[in-house]
Structure 1
């Protein structure tokens, strides 16, 4: 099997790709990982399975930067993907993210079964499929990271219930907890309670909304706001008294373990892994009610209407000023995450999916049958 990850960053979809690779490798499957971009997870992938970079990445990115040359860029992308699959003699292609959906063309040309694991909202799925010129998903096994993405894919393809597989994104809990215990320093003694967010700074992640929340909260109660993650849009990452941006880090979990409240201010996030990671660390969550975040948080946090900054700030203030409520939600968050989002359940469900007939018509041979030959 060839597993394609669109990059090797410390973000949700690549982290799930790592868990897919580990789950399969531990059960004896032969997996080769292809990463379209470099990143800090490459070493983790390589520790699990043979890992290779995609061919001619820098050349192809330069071609995509020119509007005139984009048709050429698409052709080179497809050829590079096809050469990669042919080189590694793929008998199944697991495309982890629509950002790598150019591999659907390559798999079809080589007549290799293909699984497309969708982590994106419907708008982003549409954007990536259009860019890759994947006009239809006929014959492609579809995996959704959340109930909302499952519904979106069913509406997009017209497939009935069961025609799209649901595989909830989960963290590797053991890895997360081990990394959270690594020495990452400590917050300054005597600091006020810490309100944290994790992710790449930017509009989609709602960094500007989070800064508005910080101003409202700090006007009436002391709190230290910390954003952990890459400075995707540096113009938004403006530190002020009581507000810090850590920048990129190879291990965000020690900082996340310091949070008293974990926040998700995203405008658009289908099933953000960081929510479950925060819950596993016993953190109460305050989030906008977007995507399938409601299915994650449950009784482990507080949801408010999308982009309602005042309601978000009120929820944060409530938890800052009510220690018993903060503690109770933290316990509920950890228990819910351990019960519903375990890597064991993920592996079991993944095996069910890969043992199912490929394609909505069920006409292709099963994965297990191919491996037995």
Structure 2
């Protein structure tokens, strides 16, 4: 089966990692197909990016099966809609466009309406978790049989030895408002009497949020305990996981949360919010945006040996049942094969 794949520019930039880009690369590789990348400031492309995407789609033969990353597709119904009558389009939604934090209400409403028009027009929608699939069906009024779940896989990894203690904390995520590093610093400010350090590993593209996190650390006297490393990949990232005692992801919204399964693959205990499908029973799921609950969970981890043992055991149990990339590719192949009619 011939499948055409259309992805945003930058998907292969290993120095600027994201879960969506990793997912795109892994399934593209597993499908054994190439991809067309379209540059532009998605989901708000300029005229040249719009023209490039329209030209790419126009070049595919009638009836072709095309998989598009939602970042490229969901904001431009005027381009996707007409081609949906000629091509068999599947859109992969990593994060609903309006769920990104920091959008003003008018912008969020516009993106939401555009996404709804696109997802109603195409042949299939692919979500990365069961919860995300249900939400797309309910929020956009989609036919459930057209919305499919293809969960990310997880690479096997050795158990993390940690620091030999409990106080080395790790958060792997882009430093953006949606990931909640500011909330994590606020929670840790209530635990300044306890021994801990925090490494925030991830791209520092959102200058305003980076400045807020650093300012909070300074204001609470934690600047020497909170480190923003920027993005790490390969062996440096492996070393960061290996050295950690606890993984913390205080996100406000996620569709899956691949870094959580990366941590669990190493047997790392996890405290996280907004990631029920990735976490499963492998750690403690906290309410998004609740600084007090986060501080309470962190204090219990740092002071209660029984709590630490329980979280470690949960992580190791979950480690043995994590999804694989081979299964992800098989699931996606079934979705795309169904479009051939």
TM-score surpassing 0.5?
yes
| Match in the other structure for 1:298 | 280
Candidates 307, 314, 328, aligned match of 2:296: 314
Alignment of 1:269-308 (within 5 A): 269-288=254-273, 290=274, 293-308=275-290
| Match in the other structure for 2:88 | 113
Cα pair distance change 1:203/1:88, threshold 3 Å: same
Query: How far apart in 2 are the matches of 1:339 and 1:348?
Result: 17
Q: Does 1:93 align with 2:76?
A: no
User: 8 Å contact 1:82–1:103 — kept in the other structure?
Assistant: no
Secondary structure in 2 matching 1:94 = strand
| Match in the other structure for 2:149 | 166
Q: Does 1:243 align with 2:226?
A: yes
User: 8 Å contact 2:66–2:88 — kept in the other structure?
Assistant: yes
The structure whose RCO (Cα within 8 Å, separation 6+) is larger is 2
Query: How far apart in 2 are the matches of 1:92 and 1:100?
Result: 15
Q: Does 1:84 align with 2:77?
A: no
Candidates 169, 173, 196, aligned match of 1:223: 196
Query: How far apart in 2 are the matches of 1:132 and 1:154?
Result: 12
Query: How far apart in 2 are the matches of 1:337 and 1:354?
Result: 29
Cα pair distance change 1:102/1:123, threshold 3 Å: closer
| Match in the other structure for 1:267 | 252
Secondary structure in 2 matching 1:217 = coil
Q: What is the TM-score of this pair, normalised by structure 2?
A: 0.78
Candidates 312, 321, 328, aligned match of 1:330: 312
Q: Can you list the C-alpha shifts for 1:265-301, whole angstroms capped at 9, x where unaligned?
A: 111222111111111111111112x2xx122223211
Structure 2 gap segments, 5+ residues each: 101-107, 218-222
Secondary structure in 1 matching 2:176 = coil
Q: What is the TM-score of this pair, normalised by structure 1?
A: 0.72
User: 8 Å contact 2:248–2:271 — kept in the other structure?
Assistant: yes
Structure 1 gap segments, 5+ residues each: 26-30, 37-53, 65-69, 359-364, 367-373
| Match in the other structure for 1:351 | 333
| Match in the other structure for 1:50 | none
Query: How far apart in 2 are the matches of 1:197 and 1:24?
Result: 31
Query: How far apart in 2 are the matches of 1:10 and 1:242?
Result: 24
| Match in the other structure for 1:197 | 171
User: 8 Å contact 1:129–1:135 — kept in the other structure?
Assistant: no
After TM superposition, give the deviation of residue 331 of structure 1 in Å. 4.0
Cα pair distance change 1:149/1:230, threshold 3 Å: same
After TM superposition, give the deviation of residue 86 of structure 1 in Å. 4.7
| Match in the other structure for 2:120 | 137
CA RMSD of aligned residues (A): 3.2
User: 8 Å contact 1:237–1:245 — kept in the other structure?
Assistant: no
After TM superposition, give the deviation of residue 160 of structure 1 in Å. 4.0
Secondary structure in 2 matching 1:303 = strand
Query: How far apart in 2 are the matches of 1:116 and 1:244?
Result: 37
User: 8 Å contact 1:154–1:164 — kept in the other structure?
Assistant: yes
User: 8 Å contact 1:93–1:107 — kept in the other structure?
Assistant: no
Query: How far apart in 1 are the matches of 2:51 and 2:96?
Result: 28
Secondary structure in 1 matching 2:99 = helix
User: 8 Å contact 1:78–1:102 — kept in the other structure?
Assistant: no
Secondary structure in 2 matching 1:32 = coil
Secondary structure in 1 matching 2:120 = coil
How many residue pairs were aligned?
A: 310
Query: How far apart in 1 are the matches of 2:113 and 2:90?
Result: 18
Query: How far apart in 1 are the matches of 2:279 and 2:80?
Result: 38
